[in-house]
Chain A
Amino acid sequence: MSHPGTETLAAYWLRELSEPDALALEEHLFGCEPCTAASARMAALPRALAFAVPPLITTAEAARLQALDPRIVRTRIAPDGRGVADFSSGVPAQLMVLEADLRDVERVEVTLCARDGTPLLPSRDAPFDAEAGTLTVACRDYYVKSGVFPLEITLQVEAIASGQRRPVGTFEIDHIRPV
């Protein structure tokens, strides 16, 4: 067979290729290094997509990420406290659980800032767990590696209830780079 197209590789890794086509593709892959490289990238895509989450996630999403990689730990941070997201083991994500009184809250705003207070990324409607009194931050390895955000960040959290805005607290997160 000739070099497969990427849609064929996608169907193969999604287990949606017919058996004869999959067998023919495997014959080709075992003899073709460039196609093996393309297949490896396609094989890695679903897992990478599973971790391609926004910085603020729901409790359920946090549980899903932990199920995907048991090395992911949850670190609880009290208001005005600090947590460390350690990526030195090569883990793809770490979870920071911000503790806050969120009873009767309609909306939560979170602003990711540099440690000097410079705002970097606002979230006007962050997901939160009112019953548990938590917001979950998914720290990702590629943000740490790429330097998109500083290693030391501060999250400023405000709650909106009955049209009134009130500060919930500030939370510091320090990141340790992957080795």
Chain B
Amino acid sequence: MFSRSLKQGMTTLSFGVLDGGKRAPERRLHHVSTVAAPVAGAAPEWYSASVDLPVHEGEPDGAVALRVAAPGGDPRAEAELCRRFARRALLYGLKHLGSPAAAEDLAQEALVTVLLALREGKLREADQIASFVLGTCRTLALAQRRKSARREALLAREPVQQAAEQLPREVDGQRLQGCLEKLGEREQAIVVMTFQQDHSAEAIAEALGLSTGNVRVLRHRTLARLHACIEPPGATP
């Protein structure tokens, strides 16, 4: 097998090998459109040339998905799709599986499944890509499948790991300390009893002389206040 890339500005020309007139699976990750030509001494293999187009951050998810699904694939679009959905899938896994390791496994498996499905033309409406990824996550979370050792898992692993490593950095600890000090005494008590002492809403309600519902509402509001306090400027959707 042979592969080579030449880069010119935003355009990449790639050369790969086709096996028996069909694109070898691992090559599909590296090509967009194909111009196939016979290669002396390599029959039945073929060289192919392809052009990768740049992916813009503002490009809608559906448009990126379309490029992944296009004949020949699009490595940049695949990478962009993984980057965009890695965090969403990871958060879904965290919420529904609890364990960060299980969440990483789920996110990787979901991205691999979505990439393969796109390549195989299984997604009919590209603008439904978000729902499709979510549905995949749901299915995987229910099944709690273990990750496969397929090559595509490698492609999905890096963005998922990056998203997982980024998660603890979402909150600046020192800034959070300052935000905590701005809370009222009752809100501070609710924070400490909830997140540092693992007390239930019922126990907190009894300790503070509040109703359970009131504790939950105060807790939501307190988290929302802290969230707003630590939020970088302009981050609100």
Contact = CB atoms under 8 A, between A and B. Distances in A.
Interface of A: 3, 5-7, 9-14, 16, 26-27, 29-53, 61, 64, 92, 140-143, 145-146, 148
B91 A3 contact: no
Contacts of B169: 44
26 contacts: A3-B237, A9-B224, A12-B95, A14-B216, A27-B131, A30-B131, A33-B84, A34-B237, A35-B237, A36-B88, A41-B235, A43-B91, A43-B94, A43-B167, A44-B167, A44-B170, A45-B171, A45-B176, A47-B168, A48-B173, A49-B180, A49-B195, A52-B176, A141-B173, A142-B177, A148-B174
- Residue in A12, A33, A37, A44 whose Cβ sees the most chain B Cβ within 10 Å: A44
Interface stretch (B3-11, B69-77, B226-234): B226-234
Given A31-B61, A38-B237, A52-B180, A140 B228 contact: no
B231 to A, nearest CB: 7
B160 interface: no
Interface in B185-237: 191, 194-196, 216, 219-221, 223-224, 226-228, 230-231, 235-237
A89 to B, nearest CB: 13
A10 B173 contact: no
A73 B186 CA distance: 32
Given A36-B88, A41-B171, A142-B177, 14 more contacts: A6-B224, A31-B131, A33-B84, A34-B237, A35-B237, A38-B236, A41-B230, A44-B169, A49-B191, A49-B196, A49-B226, A52-B195, A143-B174, A146-B174
A111 B166 CA distance: 35
Contacts of B230: 41, 45
A142 B216 CA distance: 29
Interface residues of B, number: 43
A47 B169 CA distance: 11
A5 B91 contact: no
A53 B134 contact: no
A137 B237 CA distance: 40
Contacts of A47: 168
Contacts of A141: 173
Interface of B: 61, 84-85, 87-88, 91-92, 94-95, 130-131, 133-134, 166-174, 176-177, 180, 191, 194-196, 216, 219-221, 223-224, 226-228, 230-231, 235-237
Given A40-B91, A44-B167, A7 B174 contact: no
Nearest to A13: B95
A35 B224 CA distance: 14
Contacts of A40: 87, 91, 166-167, 170
Nearest to B60: A31
B173 A140 contact: yes
A98 B50 CA distance: 65
- Residue in B84, B85, B220, B230 whose Cβ sees the most chain A Cβ within 10 Å: B220
Contact of B223 (A32, A45, A145): A45
B196 A39 contact: no
Nearest to B167: A44
A11 B220 contact: yes
A142 B174 contact: yes
Contacts of A38: 227, 231, 235-237
A42 B223 contact: yes
Nearest to B223: A10
A11 B213 CA distance: 12
Which 4 residue pairs spanning A and B have beta carbons closest together? A142-B173, A31-B130, A34-B237, A10-B223
A61 B216 CA distance: 24
A52 B177 contact: yes
A48 B220 contact: no
A6 B134 contact: no
A171 to B, nearest CB: 23
